[in-house]
Amino acid sequence: MMKLKSMDISATASASSIIFDALRKAIIEGQFQEGEPLRQDEIAKLFNTSRIPVREAISRLEEHGLVTTQRYKGAVVATLSPAETAEIFDLRALLEPDIIRNAVPNMTTDLLADARQKCAAFSISDDPMTWGDLNRDFHETLYAASTLSYFKDVAANALDRVERQIRAQLLLTDGMARAEAEHVAILDACAAADADRAADLTRAHILGAKTSLLRKLAEGRDGA
């Protein structure tokens, strides 16, 4: 549990939100392994608070699908099967093309310039630990112009569920090189105000990552 930085939030009104954000970040960055228990007493001690905000934070994590409650073990980091992983990628492939299609007409010059910077930052990074965040930053910058707020919330939650797997896919396959080229193509379509092409490229980008990841997971099982 020392993976989390100790913090005194005993007098903070939003203690449960602070704990939620810290645990969510640690989980999606892979600092906790799938199936690893989240011990409420230890978390409360780290944050110098009672178990009540910890329990509230863990309940929110469970709503987001990042934590499950198991008999005799309590709250543990959720485990995704290959079938569940595929289903979440398929959900993203349904939502995110519509999000970006809706966003393109609203994209400003400043937003596109910001997205281009995010795209470049992803391309030049040689630190695998940053790839997941940089990938997400790029996509969410483009999606910011969309008015489909509920779609964006659902897509963000789905991405939380598979962000650990995306990091692995970028690191263990040719995903990084492919993602770089696909990001540029998506961005160029947005800059050209071609909403349908941006949507088609986004769908192909997500489904391609799914295929690559599932293939790698299958190789891991076969080699075990």
SS3 at position 177: helix
Single-letter residue type at 106:
N
Decide: 38 and 18 in contact? Cβ < 8 Å.
Answer: no
Tell me how crowded residue 10 is: count the other CB atoms within 10 A of its CB: 11
Report the alpha-carbon distance of residue 60 to residue 64 in Å, rounded.
6
Dihedral over Cα of 18, 24, 25, 27: its sign: positive
Report the alpha-carbon distance of residue 147 to residue 200 in Å, rounded.
19
Tokens of 74: 């309590």
Most trustworthy range by pLDDT among 55-69, 83-97, 171-185: 83-97
Report the alpha-carbon distance of residue 190 to residue 183 in Å, rounded.
11
Residues whose CB is less than 8 angstroms from the CB of residue 132 and which lie 6 or more positions away in sequence, other chains included: 28, 29, 163, 166, 167, 170
For residue 179, pLDDT over 60 is answered with yes
CA 207 to chain centre: 16
For position 224, what pLDDT does the model report? 47
Q: Which residues pair with 69 in a beta bridge?
A: 75
Q: Which structural domains are found in the chain, ordered by start?
A: 15-77 (1.10.10.10), 82-223 (1.20.120.530)
For residue 98, pLDDT over 70 is answered with yes
pLDDT tens, residue by residue, 24-49: 888 877 788 888 999 999 999 999 98
Enumerate long-range contacts of 219-222, CB under 8 Å, 24 or more apart: none
Global pTM value: 0.77
